[in-house]
Amino acid sequence: MILKASQRSGAKQLGLHLMKTEENEHVEIHEVSGFVSDDLMGAMKEAYALSKGTKCKQFLFSVSLNPPSTESVRVEVFEKACEMIEERLGLKGQPRMIVFHEKEGRRHDHAVWSRIDADTMTAKPLPFFKRTLNAIAKELYLENGWQIPEGFRDSRLRDPRNFTLAEWQQAKRAGLDAREVKATIQECWAMSDNGPAFAKALEERGLFLAQGDRRGHVAVSIEGEVFAIARMVDKKTKEVSARLGDPKELRSVADTVRHIGATVAQRLSRYISEAKRIAVNAMKPLNEQKRVMKEAHKAERQKLDRMQRERLQGEQRERSARVRTGAKGVWDILTGRYFKVRKQNEMEAFFGLQRDRAQRHDLVQSQLKERQGLQSQIAQERERQARQLLGLYRDAAHYRRMTRDEQFDRDGAVRIRLTSRGPELGR
């Protein structure tokens, strides 16, 4: 189970994020404990109000718990993980909130603790919490018999194409798949041993080498999106400069964007736009199917919750009827019958809770399996669209070079030669 955590403020923003249903198909508030309020936003306000009595700015500790997508993980496993986190980090007894999210066939958990100790009005210190969480995560993998990811077992074995949230959002704005962009740049890096070769390899794939603002070497897409080379190939800036040369000898990003606009974008921008429009239309049936499935799953869960509530109320009435009152109740206490009945009621209530949790777990897992089948189709369509867009970018770069070479061949005087200094005129 991958654990990602941060100390933070912004209780209202975090609460709104946890309740967001636009990105998450199902949101379930599992627990709000240690607060006067019994709803999530009310608890967030309490945590903020309590922090005002201290100097602590980052008064919340937020952890996301992400189990393997292929595993059927019961609620008790998430609860045990939260208890381990509390025990190891000294958060035992602190108010907490637990929220489950489901998105694209994956189920994960968010746990949020208030760091403020109400008795001492001080914040609980969390030194080296990332190291502690890493150890807990490995224990959870071993205890539950899950396969430990190679990169999690040894950081040197991590998938070099993993990307950060910022990289994903940046590539998403460009209309490209972030993993495809990163793989493309890494492919160019592997096959090139100097700056000109790397620049040529990038251009063949619709990207242009340039000098970035404070970021050394960057790749610029046809739409003007900028990708830091060092980050994409997981190398230090010095290593990149050693192979590609001084970035100051390249065009600036602004000059590169103008160059692209003058030679490529005007000719092929309408084709790229058309490809994106087709991609959106192709996703509409799948998105509609996803919407219908989401509503059906939601209705099934509501029906189960209603049936379980009604059954629980009936069982509670039955257990209450066993406890006699008045003189008979006193006699039951004297004879010991009352304690036997109470024990029986407690056992039935416990097993009833386990039964209800098992039923809900089975329903959720069956729905997740169905949703994962649809997600597989969506992922295939997204990959196909990404390949098509990257193909258009490669075509654009190829057409730019053909047009450039044809123009100067016709003049019979000069040819443009791409060097580390950018375009250079030579006879």
Q: What is the DSSP string of 171-196?
A: HHHTTS-HHHHHHHHHHHHHH-SSHH
At 332 the pLDDT is 86
Q: Do 260 and 321 share a domain, yes or no?
A: no
Domain-embedded: residue 291 = yes
CA distance 244 to 238: 10
User: Which of 114-118, 150-154, 305-309, 334-338 comes out lowest in average pLDDT?
Assistant: 150-154
State percent of the chain over pLDDT 70. Answer: 82
Q: What is the pLDDT of residues 28-54, one digit of tens each?
A: 899 999 999 888 999 999 999 999 999
Q: Do 256 and 312 share a domain, yes or no?
A: no
What CATH number is given to the structural domain containing 73? 3.30.930
Q: Do 142 and 196 share a domain, yes or no?
A: no
* Residue at a domain's end among 236, 264, 292: 264
* Residue at a domain's end among 207, 237, 264: 264
Tokens of 411: 């003049």
Q: Do 205 and 304 share a domain, yes or no?
A: no
Contacts of residue 225, defined as CB under 8 A and 6 or more positions apart, other chains included, come to: 170, 171, 173, 174, 176
Block residue for tokens 């897992």: 365
Q: Do 289 and 350 share a domain, yes or no?
A: yes
Domain-embedded: residue 79 = yes
* Residue at a domain's end among 264, 294, 309: 264
pTM higher than the cut 0.75 = no
For 262, list phi and psi in degrees, rounded to 5: -80, -25
Q: Do 246 and 296 share a domain, yes or no?
A: no
Q: Do 74 and 94 share a domain, yes or no?
A: yes
Q: Report which DSSP code applies to 264.
A: I
Number of domains composing the chain? 3
At 153 the pLDDT is 59
Domain-embedded: residue 416 = no
Domain-embedded: residue 256 = yes
Q: Do 254 and 280 share a domain, yes or no?
A: no
Block residue for tokens 């190891």: 88
At 64 the pLDDT is 92
Domain-embedded: residue 421 = no
Q: Which helix (H) or strand (E) holds 336?
A: none
* Inter-CA distances, 322 with 37, 300, 310, Å: 33, 34, 19
Sort strands 96-103 and 26-33 into parallel, antiparallel or unpaired: antiparallel
Domain-embedded: residue 420 = no
Q: What is the pLDDT of residues 155-172, one digit of tens each?
A: 544 555 555 656 655 665
Domain-embedded: residue 424 = no
At 116 the pLDDT is 92
CA atoms within 13 A on the CB side of 148: 17
Q: Report which DSSP code applies to 127.
A: T
Q: Do 49 and 196 share a domain, yes or no?
A: no
Mean pLDDT of the chain: 82
Tokens of 208: 């242009």
Q: Do 127 and 181 share a domain, yes or no?
A: no
Q: What is the pLDDT of residues 243-298, one digit of tens each?
A: 998 888 888 888 887 777 666 656 666 667 777 777 778 888 888 888 898 889 98
At 154 the pLDDT is 55
Domain-embedded: residue 419 = no
Q: Report which DSSP code applies to 263.
A: I
Domain containing 299 equals 272-407
Q: Do 129 and 182 share a domain, yes or no?
A: no
393 versus 212: the higher-pLDDT residue is: 212
| 427: confidence class by pLDDT, cuts 50, 70, 90 | very low
275 versus 331: the higher-pLDDT residue is: 331
Q: Do 11 and 34 share a domain, yes or no?
A: yes
